[in-house]
C-alpha cells in the first residue's frame, strides 16, 4: 500500500494541525512513512515532542524532516507566530491538512455561549484563517493541496451536536467554495468526511450514545488510509463509511426521510445528551 499510494506524498511538505490527536497521530505516521516532510501542530508542546520522538524511532533510516510547533490556532497572535516560524524553515508547505477539531454532546438549551464560540472558532474560523494566511505560499508551489477534515455531521444535522454540526457544515461549505475559487490555480482544495472514529474526541458519554445507537466506529489508521487515497485522487471529496455515505446523499435529496429515522432515535439521544 505504501508504494502504491506514495506518489504525491513523497518529499511533499505537510503542515498538519491536530497532530497530537487520535487522527493526527495516525496521519503523521502514514505521511512520515511515505516520505513527507512534516510540520506538526498541536497546543501541547510536550505531546508534540513525544510524537516527534515516536516517529523518528519508528524509522531511524528516514531522511524526511519533522518540525513541531505548539500553537492555539484560535488565537490570532499565535497563528501569526506560526506563520513567522514557517518563514524561517527551509520548507515551502505544499500540503495543508486542517485537522484540529473539538466536539461536544449537549442539547442546545444546555450549551453555553462560550462553548458555541469555542467549537465554531476551532472547527471553522481557525482553519479558514490559517488557510488564508498560508495561501500566498501554497499559490507559489508547482502544485499544492488543502485538505479539510470534516465529518459525517458536516452533512447530516444530528440532535445533541448543533454547534459541532454547524461548524462542520460551514467547513464543508468553505471547502467547496474555495475549491471552485481556486479552480484555475495550482491549489486543489479537498474535504475528507470521517464517521465516528476511536479517538479522545469521543467522550465516554458519546461512546455510550454510539453504542446505544449501534453507530459503527472506525480506527484512526483506517481514516489515515482514506486520507492517503484522497491526496492521491483527483476528486475533491471523500466520505467514509457505509451506510453513512448513503445517508449523506439521501439527506441532501430527501432530508425529511432522514429526519424521520433520526427523530425515532431522539429519546435515546436526549437521554445521553442531558446526562453529559
Ligand X SMILES: NC(=O)c1ccc[n+]([C@@H]2O[C@H](COP(=O)([O-])OP(=O)(O)OC[C@H]3O[C@@H](n4cnc5c(N)ncnc54)[C@H](OP(=O)(O)O)[C@@H]3O)[C@@H](O)[C@H]2O)c1
Q: Which residue is nearest to ligand X (CB)?
A: 21
The helix (run of H) or strand (run of E) holding residue 65 is none
Identify the residue among 28, 64, 99, 145 touching ligand X (CB under 6 A). 99
Mark 65-91 as b/e (b = at least 16 C-beta within 10 Å). ebbbbbbebbeeeebeebeeebeeeeb
Instruction: Say how far apart CA 109 and CA 207 lie, in whole Å.
Output: 22
Closest CA to 213 of 148, 270, 142: 270
Cell 511515505 belongs to which residue? 34
Position 122 contacts ligand X (CB under 6 A): yes
Instruction: Say how far apart CA 128 and CA 121 lie, in whole Å.
Output: 10
Position 18 contacts ligand X (CB under 6 A): yes
Contact region with ligand X (CB under 6 A), list: 69-77, 86-94, 173-181, 231-239: 69-77
Contact region with ligand X (CB under 6 A), list: 3-11, 14-22, 49-57, 105-113: 14-22
Task: Please state the closest distance from residue 61 (CB atom) to ligand X, in A.
Answer: 27
CA distance to 23, 49, 112, per residue, from 55 (Å)? 15, 10, 38
Identify the residue among 201, 224, 227, 228 touching ligand X (CB under 6 A). 201
Q: Where are the beta strands (DSSP E) in the chain?
A: 13-16, 37-42, 66-70, 95-98, 144-149, 187-193, 237-239
Contact region with ligand X (CB under 6 A), list: 18-26, 108-116, 177-185, 268-276: 18-26
Position 200 contacts ligand X (CB under 6 A): yes
Task: Please state the closest distance from residue 142 (CB atom) to ligand X, in A.
Answer: 28
Position 210 contacts ligand X (CB under 6 A): no
Position 28 contacts ligand X (CB under 6 A): no
164 catalytic residue (yes or no): yes
User: Which entry of 85, 161, 164, 239 is annotated as an active-site residue?
Assistant: 164
Position 146 contacts ligand X (CB under 6 A): no
Position 162 contacts ligand X (CB under 6 A): no
116 — alpha (psi -120 to 50), left (phi > 0) or beta? alpha
Cβ proximity to ligand X, 37 vs 151, nearer residue: 151
Identify the residue among 31, 55, 100, 147 touching ligand X (CB under 6 A). 100
Closest CA to 146 of 91, 187, 186, 100: 187
Cβ proximity to ligand X, 63 vs 117, nearer residue: 117
Query: Per the structure block, which three cell numbers stand in for 155?
Result: 452533512
Cell 444546555 belongs to which residue? 110
Task: Please state the closest distance from residue 111 (CB atom) to ligand X, in A.
Answer: 16
Residues that bind ligand X (CB under 6 A): 17-24, 42-44, 47, 72-74, 99-103, 122, 149, 151, 194, 196-197, 199-202
> Catalytic site residues?
164
Amino acid at each position: 500500500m505504501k508504494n502504491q499510494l506514495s506518489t504525491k506524498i513523497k518529499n511533499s511538505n505537510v503542515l498538519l494541525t491536530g497532530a497530537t490527536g487520535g487522527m493526527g497521530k495516525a496521519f503523521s505516521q502514514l505521511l512520515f512513512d511515505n516520505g513527507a516532510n512534516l510540520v506538526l501542530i498541536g497546543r501541547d508542546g510536550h505531546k508534540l515532542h513525544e510524537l516527534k520522538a515516536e516517529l523518528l524511532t519508528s524509522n531511524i533510516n528516514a531522511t524526511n524532516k519533522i518540525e513541531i510547533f505548539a500553537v492555539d490556532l484560535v488565537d490570532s497572535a499565535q497563528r501569526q507566530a506560526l506563520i513567522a516560524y514557517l518563514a524561517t524553515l527551509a520548507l515551502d508547505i505544499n500540503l495543508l491538512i486542517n485537522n484540529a477539531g473539538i466536539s461536544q454532546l449537549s442539547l442546545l438549551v444546555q450549551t453555553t455561549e462560550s462553548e458555541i464560540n469555542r467549537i465554531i472558532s476551532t472547527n471553522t474560523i481557525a482553519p479558514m484563517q490559517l488557510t488564508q494566511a498560508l495561501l500566498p505560499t501554497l499559490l507559489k508551489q508547482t502544485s499544492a493541496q488543502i485538505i479539510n477534515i470534516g465529518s459525517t455531521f458536516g452533512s447530516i444535522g444530528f440532535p445533541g451536536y448543533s454547534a459541532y454540526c454547524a461548524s462542520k457544515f460551514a467547513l464543508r461549505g468553505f471547502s467547496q467554495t474555495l475549491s471552485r475559487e481556486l479552480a484555475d490555480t495550482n491549489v486543489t482544495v479537498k474535504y475528507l468526511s470521517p464517521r465516528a472514529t476511536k479517538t479522545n474526541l469521543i467522550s465516554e458519554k458519546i461512546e455510550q450514545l454510539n453504542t446505544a445507537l449501534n453507530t459503527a466506529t472506525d480506527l484512526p489508521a483506517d481514516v489515515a488510509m482514506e486520507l492517503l487515497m484522497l491526496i492521491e485522487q483527483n476528486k475533491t471529496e471523500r466520505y467514509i463509511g457505509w451506510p453513512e455515505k448513503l445517508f449523506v446523499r439521501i439527506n441532501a435529496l430527501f432530508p425529511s426521510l432522514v429526519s424521520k429515522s433520526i427523530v425515532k432515535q431522539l429519546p435515546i439521544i436526549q437521554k445521553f445528551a442531558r446526562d453529559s
